[in-house]
Structure 1
Amino acid sequence: MRGRPVVVAALLVCWLFAGTVALTGTAAAATIEVDHTLAQNDAPGEVDVRTDVRVPSGTTSLEITIPEGTEVHESSGFSRTGDRTWEWTRTTDQPYLQYSMEGNVTMDRGNGEEHLYAVTDEWAVVRTPSISLSWSGVRADVDVSSSVDGEGVGGRHIAYLGPYEETTREASGQRFRLVEAGASDLRPGREAVLDDLAAASERIQLGQKDEEVLVFVVPSANIEWAATGVQRGDSNMWVRDAEGLDNPKNTWIHEYVHTLQDYGRTTETRWTIEGMADYYAALIAYERGHIDYEEFRDRMADGRDDEHSDVELVDPSTWENTQGNYDKGALVFGYLDRRLRAEHDTSIDAAVREFNEPGEELTHERFLDAIEAAGDADLRAEAERYTETTDVPPVWSRQEHVEAYGGPDLAAEFDSFAVSGPYREANLQEPRIVAGETLTATVTVRNEGNQEGDFEVPFRVDGETVETRSGTLGPGESTTVTFERTFEDAGEYDLAAGSASTTAVVEEPADLEVTGLEAEPTEAAMGERVTLRATVESSADRPAAGEVEFAVDGESVGSETVRMADGAATVETTTTFDSPGEHEVTAGGRSATVTVTEETATPGPTGTGTTSGTDDGTTSGTDDGTTSGTDDGTPPSTNDGPGLGAVPAVVALVATSLFLRRRR
C-alpha cells in the first residue's frame, strides 16, 4: 500500500493469510477445484457470490468455511454445521453455495470512513471470498479461481465488476493486464503505466516472478479512498486513476514490488515490506527520468526527519501509525544498496534473493545474514545498527550515486516555447496559447554523469506519451530536442518531458473589439461609393477571432470574419446610398454619420470589402476582396513576450463575406 499508515499494511497482511486456503491434506495427488462467480446485486454495498466446489474421487469428507458477513440464499450438496461452516453431504461431487457478501471495506484514519474496497451503482472493486477447506480421504491441492457474471474481471484475490477496458504487455517473462474501470480517467495514460511496469520487471530481480500481474485502475472521483493503491495475494493490485508516474512515491511501482515479495515476515522484519517497496518506487522513478536526482535524494532524506527520531525498525511499536517503516525503511534499503554496489559489485537485489522464497519466514537474523553474504561483516554491522537502534544512515550525494550505480546521470528541463498557427508565429515566455494554435516546446537534455549513455525523453500531455526523442550523450554533454502539439480545446494541460514538467494554458480566442469607425467621405451624393472602415483590436491579452458586421440605419451591408494576434487592424467595406439625408453607420457598437445629398453620382466600380493591419508587416486586403501576407506568404511574428507584447505584429486573416445593398 502506498503512502498510508502502517495499520493499513497490517490489515493487508491479515487478508493475505485469509485469502490463502487452509489445507489439511499432505502431498498433492488430486485437485479440489473452487470457483467463485461474483455478480452485482441491488443491495447497497453488497455483491452476490456463487462458490462451486469440485470434489475429487476418493474424498470421504469435506467442510468449507465462508467469509464473515455473508448470507446464504441457496445451497446444493452442502448442509450447515455452524455460523459460517458447511459440510459436504456427498450427494454430488459438484456442490455449491450461493450467498451475498459485503463488498465495501472501509477504515477510519481520522478523516471518517474511507474505502479499501468499494461497491457503487455502476461498478465495484472487491476482495474475492476468503474461504478455508478441510477434508479427508484423499491427498489433494486446492485450485481457487474467480470470475464475474456479466461485465468485469475476476482475479484470484481481487475482482472488478462493471464496464472496463483491458490492455496487456509482456515483459521479462511476465504478462501485465491493465484493467481500467469504465468510469476511470487514467492520468498517466495506459501505455505510460505499462512502460513503467515493464521497466520495473526488467530492472528489479528479487527471484521468481508471477507469470501474470493483474492491475485494476479504479476511479478517484466520488470515492474517498483510504489508500492510493492496494496489493493482495500473489499478484493482484488496484491503483487509483489519479496516481501519476512523476512522483518519488510512485504507487504503480510500489504495489508491483509487493507482488515480488514472496517471503513471510516476522514482527522484526515487517518494516522490510514497505521500506523495500518505497525505495524501489523512488529509484525506478529516477532511473526512468520521471524525477530528477534532487527529488530522489529528498525522498531518501525523509527517513531522517525528526518525526522518525525514535524509530527502531525492528520494533513496530516505535513506528505504528507513522510513516517510519516507509521513510526510514526506504533510506536503509537505499543505503545498503549503494554500499553493496560501490564496494562489493553487487546490489540489494542479490541480498533479497537470499531469503525471498515462498513460505520462508524472514527473521531479523536471516536478514542480517543475507546482507553479510552479499557484502561483508562490516556492512552487516551497519545494517544491524540502523535497524536495531534509532541511528539513521546518511543520504548520499549525486556523485556518490553515479559512482555506485553507474551509467549516465540525465536531466531534462524545458528551455523555451513558441507558438504557430492561424493567428501568429511567436516565441513565448510561458506556454500560454489559444485553441487551434500549435505549441512548440524546446527541451534541454544534459548528462551530468561520468559515463556516456543513451537517453530517451518521452513528451507527455496529461500523462499520455505523444512523442519521444532519443539519442546519446557523453559525460557533461547536452543537447536540445523539440516537441510540437496542437491544442484544439481550451483547458489546462500537464506537460512533461522526462523529469521536467510544466502546465500549458489553452484559452478560447478573445472577442474582437471595435475601437473606431469612420466613413469616407462623410458627405456623399446618391449612388456615390462610401468606404466604411472599422478599427478592431483584441478585447484581452491574447489572440482574438470574431465577425465584424457593418450596418446602415440598422440594416446589415457587409460582414467580415477576422483572426488577429495583437495590436490593431482595420476592416473595410463599401456601400452606396439611394436616399438623401443623414444615415447612421454602425459596427461593433461604434457609429458614424454619412450625409447624402440629392445629387446623383456617376456609378463607379462594384464595391468590395478589405482588411488591413498596422504598418508592421501585417496582412492587408486588395481591391478584389483577396488578402495577402508578408513577402514570404507567412503570418508575421514577434520575437519576445508571451505572444502579446507592447508592439507585436498583427495578423488579420479575413474570410470575406460581403454584400452590397443600395439604400432605398
Structure 2
Amino acid sequence: MLVFCLLAVLALGVCLTGTAAADAGDATAANATASATQDGETLQLTKRLHLTPDRPGQIEVTARFDDPDNLVELETQVPARATVIDTDGFSGSGGGYAWDGRTDAPSLTYRLPVNETRETEGPLAGRGDYTFVDAGEWAIVRTPQVGVSWSWRGGNVTLDRRTTVDGEGVASEAMAFLGPHSEYTRRANGQRFRLIVPAAASLAESRSRIFESMTAASDTLQVGARDASVFMIAAPTTSVEWSVQGLQTGGDSFWVQDDQGLQVPDNVWLHEYVHTRQDYDRNDGTRWFTEASATYYAALLSLEQDRIGFSAFRSRLRAGDVRSDPGEVLAAPSTWSGRTPYLKGALVAGELDRQIRLAADGRRLQTVFRRMNAAEEPLTAAAFEDIVTDVAGREVGRLADRYTTTDATPSMWSRTEHLRAFEGAAPRIEYAFAPASERFRVAGPYRNGSLDAGQPVELATGESLSLDVLVENTGDAAGEFEAAFAVDGRRLDEQAGSLDPDEQRRLTFSHTFDEPGTYTLTAGTRTVEVAVRGPSPPAVVDLQANASRVTAGDVVELTARLGNDATIPAAGTLTLYRNDTVVSTREVVVGPGSEQEITFAIEPPAGTHRFRLGNATATVTVDAPPTERDGTGSTGTTANGPGFGAPAVVLAVIVVALAGRRRRT
C-alpha cells in the first residue's frame, strides 16, 4: 500500500493538505500539525534558526528530517526568497528538493532574508517601516515555513514540525526572537503567558504589571478561543524604528514596542492580546471587527482595570465620530482610510456593546464575539446582523446593520449612560475544580475509580482520566459560558450553556493517554498537569511455600507477596520456574504504593526443587511415597533410604561377630 500526502505550509501559517491513492484500499493521509496525533510513524521536521551578525537582514535555517523506516519519497520546498547553501541527502528537483531515499536524517540549509516593511496609517502606526527585522545582534522574525510532501508504505506517516534556535533565542510556531534575552512566565485562566524581554529592550512597564493586565483580560474576555500559550516579545526600540506599535500573527504570538505603557486607552499590550482571541473566518463584510474589537476592548479593559478614567475612555471612542471621514462604510473596505476600523469601527463596537447590555439582561458584545468564534462558515455582514439580532433582539440587529452597511455613525455616550449600561447587573462566569475527592476519576486496564491526586496527576499508558470542573455564575445577571477542553493546546471538546445568577453546573471532560509524556489539560480556565509513563513490572518481595518437605502427590502452595512503590500501577506477566522450568504464568496488577499476594498450587514430583518468581526463591523437598506391601507381608524400600529385611539382619549379626573375634585375637 502506497500513500501520498502533500502539505503546503504558507508564510501565513495556513496548511493545505491533499491525498492521492495508488489503489482503493489506501489510507487517507493525516493533517500535519505541531505534533503527531495519530497512530503510526512520525516524520520529524526540525527547523534550526541561526543568527548571522555578519549578515544583518538575513538568518540561516537548517531543515532536518528524521525519517521513519516506511518512508518512500520526500520532497521539500524552501521559501521563495531563500538561497540554499548546503544539502545532505537532497537534490534539486522541479523547483524543490527531493530526498535520495538512502540518507538517514537528510537536511538542507539556506539563507533567508527576514526584514519586512510596510507603510501603516492609524492610531497604532509607528515612526518607521519595519514589522520584522534582523538588526545584527538580535532579530524578531516570522518563523520560517517550508513546504513538505511525502509518501509511505504501510501504516500512516504524520508530520511533526518543531522550531529551535541555535544559540540564544526562542521560537513559537509563528514568531521567533534570536539573540540574548530573558524569558518570564505566568499562568492564569488556563493560559501560559510567555514574556520575552531581549537584552536590548528596556520595558516602560514592569513585568508584573504587564502580566496583571494580560491575566485580568484573559479572565474578563469570555469569548472562547483561549490559546494554551501566549507568546509575547518586547521589541527593542533603541536601534529600530517600527512600522506599528505592536503586531500579532499566527494566532498566539505578538510583539509590542518596549516603550509602550499600560495607562492609555490605546493599550497595545491589550490590543494585541485581544487579537489572539479572534478565531472567526471573516470576509469583507466583517473585516472591520478585527481591529475595531481589539481597539475597543483595549480601551474598555483599561478602564475596567482602573488604568484610565472615563474621560480618557470617552475621548478615545469619540474620535470615531469627530475624526472619521464621510462615506466610510464598515462592511465595504473600499471606502476606508487606513484608520477607519480603529476609529469608526471601535465606536460602533462600543455602541453595539452598550445597546446589547441595555436590551438583553446579562448579554454583551462578548456574547456576539463568542458566537462569531464558534461559527463554522465565513462571517458576512448579514451573518453578523443575524448574530446580533439573535443575541439582543431585532431593534439592536437593525442598529448593527445601519452602522455597518451605511455611513451612519453613532455618537459617543455620556458618563451617566455608561453607568446605566455598564455598571448594572452583569454575569460573572467562574470555573473551579470539583472537591479533591471528586475531581479525578481513572479508568483503564489497571484500575477504575476515583483518584485523589495532586499535580501532576500520574497515570499509566492506556488509562483514561476524567476531570470534573464546576462552572458558576457569581454575577447578578444570567450569562452564557463556553468551556473548552484542550490537551497541550489542542481543543478536543467543548461544553456551552447559560447560567442564572448563583447557578452552578458540573462539567466532565475525559481523555485517554496512549503515549508516555507530560501533558497540560485545560478545562474552562482551569489547568492540570498530567505525567504519563508505562507501568513497571510488579516487584516480588517474598516467596514462601506452605511446607518445606512434603510427600510426592501432595499439593504445594507457593504464596508470593508483590509490592509496588511507584505512584502508578505496576502490571505485567510473572513466570514461576521450578528448577529453571516454567510451571505457571500469571498476569498481575498491583496498585500504586500497595502490596498484594498471589498463590500458586503445584504438585511437584519427588526430589528437591528450587522455585523462583522474579528475584524471590523457595526450596521444597518432595519425598517419594511408601511402596505397597508384598505377599509375604514385608515392605519395600522407601524414598528415604534402604530397608532392613531378614537377610540384612543376618548379615549385620555376622559382621558384629567377626568384629568381636578380631578384637579377641
C-alpha contact (below 8 Å) 2:248/2:276 kept by paired residues: yes
Distance change in 2, residues 1:219/1:136 (3 Å) = same
What's the offset of the Cα at 1:286? Answer: 0.8
Q: Which amino acid aligns with 1:268?
A: G
What's the offset of the Cα at 1:303? Answer: 1.1
What's the offset of the Cα at 1:242? Answer: 0.4
Paired residues, what number?
393
What's the offset of the Cα at 1:371? Answer: 1.0
Secondary structure of 2:404's partner?
Answer: helix
Distance change in 2, residues 1:169/1:32 (3 Å) = same
| 1:329-365 C-alpha deviation (Å, 9 max, x unpaired) | 1111111111111220201111121121497522222
For the pair shown, the structure with the greater C-alpha radius of gyration is: 2
- Give the one of 87, 92, 110 matched to 1:99: 110
Is 1:375 the counterpart of 2:369 in the alignment?
no
- Give the one of 248, 268, 277 matched to 2:285: 268
What's the offset of the Cα at 1:134? Answer: 3.0
Is 1:329 the counterpart of 2:340 in the alignment?
no
CA distance in 2, matches of 1:51, 1:319: 42
- Give the one of 140, 147, 160 matched to 1:125: 140
CA distance in 2, matches of 1:361, 1:58: 39
C-alpha contact (below 8 Å) 2:324/2:343 kept by paired residues: no
Distance change in 2, residues 1:35/1:369 (3 Å) = farther
| 1:101-143 C-alpha deviation (Å, 9 max, x unpaired) | 1121122459996211111232111111122233344755543
Mean alpha-carbon deviation: is it higher for 381-390 or for 355-364? 355-364
The residue aligned with 2:355 is 339
Q: How does 1:134-213 map to 2 (within 5 A)?
A: 134-137=149-152, 141-213=158-230
Q: Which amino acid aligns with 1:397?
A: S
What's the offset of the Cα at 1:237? Answer: 0.7
| 1:441-471 C-alpha deviation (Å, 9 max, x unpaired) | xxxxxxxxxx9xxxxxxxxxxxxxxxxxxxx
C-alpha contact (below 8 Å) 2:127/2:244 kept by paired residues: no
Distance change in 2, residues 1:308/1:148 (3 Å) = same
Is 1:89 the counterpart of 2:100 in the alignment?
yes
C-alpha contact (below 8 Å) 1:186/1:217 kept by paired residues: yes
Is 1:116 the counterpart of 2:110 in the alignment?
no
The residue aligned with 1:402 is 419
Secondary structure of 1:265's partner?
Answer: coil
Q: How does 1:443-454 map to 2 (within 5 A)?
A: none
CA distance in 2, matches of 1:400, 1:56: 65
CA distance in 1, matches of 2:92, 2:375: 34
CA distance in 1, matches of 2:288, 2:262: 24
What is the RMSD computed on CA atoms of the aligned residues?
2.4
C-alpha contact (below 8 Å) 2:324/2:344 kept by paired residues: no
- Give the one of 13, 16, 24 matched to 1:19: 13
Distance change in 2, residues 1:109/1:230 (3 Å) = closer
What's the offset of the Cα at 1:318? Answer: 0.8
CA distance in 2, matches of 1:332, 1:139: 50
CA distance in 2, matches of 1:401, 1:69: 52
Q: Which amino acid aligns with 2:213?
A: D
Secondary structure of 1:18's partner?
Answer: coil
CA distance in 2, matches of 1:55, 1:23: 19
Secondary structure of 2:397's partner?
Answer: helix
Q: How does 1:242-641 map to 2 (within 5 A)?
A: 242-320=259-337, 322-345=338-361, 346-357=363-374, 360-406=377-423
Q: Which amino acid aligns with 2:385?
A: L
CA distance in 2, matches of 1:371, 1:397: 23
C-alpha contact (below 8 Å) 1:125/1:161 kept by paired residues: yes
- Give the one of 33, 38, 42 matched to 2:49: 38
What's the offset of the Cα at 1:100? Answer: 1.0
| 1:59-108 C-alpha deviation (Å, 9 max, x unpaired) | 4433322212111111223222244x222332246322211111211224
| 1:580-639 C-alpha deviation (Å, 9 max, x unpaired) | xxxxxxxxxxxxxxxxxxxxxxxxxxxxxxxxxxxxxxxxxxxxxxxxxxxxxxxxxxxx
CA distance in 2, matches of 1:249, 1:60: 54
Q: Which amino acid aligns with 2:262?
A: L
CA distance in 1, matches of 2:424, 2:88: 63
CA distance in 1, matches of 2:195, 2:143: 18
What's the offset of the Cα at 1:171? Answer: 1.1
Distance change in 2, residues 1:311/1:48 (3 Å) = same
Q: Percent identity?
A: 37
CA distance in 2, matches of 1:48, 1:342: 56
| 1:190-239 C-alpha deviation (Å, 9 max, x unpaired) | 11111100011001111131100010111111211001111110211111
CA distance in 1, matches of 2:273, 2:334: 27
C-alpha contact (below 8 Å) 1:230/1:239 kept by paired residues: yes
The residue aligned with 1:605 is none
Q: Which amino acid aligns with 1:340?
A: I
C-alpha contact (below 8 Å) 1:22/1:132 kept by paired residues: no
CA distance in 2, matches of 1:360, 1:342: 29
Secondary structure of 1:255's partner?
Answer: helix
The residue aligned with 1:62 is 74
What's the offset of the Cα at 1:310? Answer: 1.5
Distance change in 2, residues 1:112/1:285 (3 Å) = closer
Q: Which amino acid aligns with 1:126?
A: V
| 1:241-275 C-alpha deviation (Å, 9 max, x unpaired) | 00010111111011111111111211221111101
The residue aligned with 1:47 is 59
C-alpha contact (below 8 Å) 2:285/2:332 kept by paired residues: yes
What is the TM-score with the length of structure 2 in the denominator? 0.56
Mean alpha-carbon deviation: is it higher for 31-40 or for 354-363? 354-363
CA distance in 2, matches of 1:59, 1:362: 41
CA distance in 2, matches of 1:197, 1:294: 23
| 1:479-501 C-alpha deviation (Å, 9 max, x unpaired) | xxxxxxxxxxxxxxxxxxxxxxx
Secondary structure of 2:105's partner?
Answer: coil
Secondary structure of 1:399's partner?
Answer: helix
Secondary structure of 1:354's partner?
Answer: helix
Q: Which amino acid aligns with 1:332?
A: V
Is 1:231 the counterpart of 2:248 in the alignment?
yes
CA distance in 2, matches of 1:358, 1:99: 40
CA distance in 2, matches of 1:398, 1:16: 47
Mean alpha-carbon deviation: is it higher for 19-28 or for 164-173? 19-28
| 1:514-554 C-alpha deviation (Å, 9 max, x unpaired) | xxxxxxxxxxxxxxxxxxxxxxxxxxxxxxxxxxxxxxxxx
CA distance in 1, matches of 2:377, 2:91: 37
C-alpha contact (below 8 Å) 2:381/2:404 kept by paired residues: no
| 1:280-332 C-alpha deviation (Å, 9 max, x unpaired) | 10011111111110111111111113443221011111114x20011111111
Secondary structure of 2:87's partner?
Answer: strand
